[in-house]
Amino acid sequence: MDHISSAGEGLYIPSPIRLVKNKLNKKLLFIMILPNIISFSYYIIITGNQFAAHTIFTVSMPAERKGAQELSIFSSNEQENPGSYIAYNAIHSLQGFKDIDDKLNLSHIYNQFDYVNRFGSFGSFFSHGKSALWTYYQRETPITVTDSGIVTVTAYAPSKTLALAIAQGTVESAKKTLQKMNETQNGDLTHSLIKRIAEVEKNLDVDKKNMEAFRNKTKILDPSITYNAEMNRIDSLVLNDVSLKARQITLKKESPSSPVLEEDNNEILYTNQSIEKSESDILQSINYSTNFEILKYKENSDLQALANARQELSNAETRADGNHYDISIISPPMASDDTEWPNPLKDRLEPVLITLLITLFIWSLVRA
């Protein structure tokens, strides 16, 4: 008999043999059957295809920083290739993630993976928030940086087109960050010069207004011009006066009653008055010349300062053009038509066989 029955109470008491069989059946279920069913279901049935796009690039450092680096004895990889690590951090940064997410809607893309790996399921521990999506994006977009500063970005997605789009987005994100750094660096370099140019231009406007006010008040374009013109005029008038007086002396001796003497007297009087007028204008121009020279000196100084500042700005911009981080693409985003994962043999059949072998080994130990 396999069991013992109590007629009074109607109780069923299993025999020792049946108890052993039931325990073995439960162990068989949990050790052999369930693990292999789960393994087969996931790796053979559930697992979806994943495509990968790869892009490779380097980042050149600014010339000034490179020169300083060459003088350094001790340096780490990050110090030797700062641009590469800046690009690395830019791609995995929150801003880099937002740039790509706004353009591609990453949650929609990652929801297309298989049920286990997809975002919002086991792949993100059933979290649907932006923080979880950011972490998921970092995991699905691994980046490596070699000792020589070569950056390799791999973007995984449920289709080749989407993988290429994400990979291209990572390159654009790195370029955007480096461009902002270059603009900031160039801005720091040229900001003071631009401010200085604005100040000199403002001063120059004041100089021109002061000079215009001076000329409107004095009616003199340039006192030195007036001085030279009046001096030449005085020389001419003096010569004319001397000539007239010499002629008068001759006429008085030869023809004292000549009417020319009266004409010469009038002309000598006019000449003397003109000389006095020119002498007065010369004195006035001398008085004005001091103020004029001060205004002219200030204007010329500001013109020279403006020319120097503009030249310095031009030189600074030229230096900035060769003193910035720059991405050099070694391999643009590319993806194979074949899936990156899973491989039919390695990633599907191999885990199933391994699971089977492990469970068989454990089961043999249990049965022993």
Tens-digit pLDDT profile for residues 167-205: 999 999 999 988 888 877 777 667 888 888 999 999 999
Q: What angle do CA 254, 258, 263 make, to 5 degrees?
A: 125
- Tell me, yes or no, whether 358 lies in a domain: yes
32 shares a domain with 108: no
- Tell me, yes or no, whether 217 lies in a domain: no
Strand order in the sheet with 51-60: 143-145, 151-157, 51-60, 326-335
- Tell me, yes or no, whether 302 lies in a domain: no
84 shares a domain with 175: yes
118 shares a domain with 69: yes
- Tell me, yes or no, whether 360 lies in a domain: yes
pLDDT value at 65 more than 50? no
330 shares a domain with 183: yes
- Tell me, yes or no, whether 118 lies in a domain: yes
104 shares a domain with 69: yes
Structure tokens at 47: 């697992």
For residue 5, name the pLDDT band (cuts at 50, 70, 90). very low
Kindly compute the dihedral angle of the four CA atoms of residues 106, 93, 99, 330, in this order, to the nearest 10 degrees. Answer: -90
- Tell me, yes or no, whether 231 lies in a domain: no
Which residues touch 111 (CB under 8 Å, ≥6 apart)?
118, 119, 120
Least confident of 22-31, 111-120, 164-173, 329-338: 22-31
CATH number for the domain spanning 86: value is 3.30.1890
32 shares a domain with 90: no
Structure tokens at 360: 């068989």
Question: Phi and psi for 327 in degrees, rounded to 5?
Answer: -90, 130
169 shares a domain with 94: yes
- Tell me, yes or no, whether 250 lies in a domain: no
77 shares a domain with 32: no
127 shares a domain with 31: no
177 shares a domain with 135: yes
Omega prior to 342 cis, within 30 of 0 = yes
pLDDT value at 20 more than 60? no
pLDDT value at 22 more than 80? no
181 shares a domain with 95: yes
- Tell me, yes or no, whether 152 lies in a domain: yes
Domain that holds residue 183: 51-189+323-335
Q: Give pLDDT tens digits for 262-308.
A: 777 778 788 778 778 877 777 777 777 888 888 888 999 999 999 99
Domain count, the chain: 2
145 shares a domain with 23: no
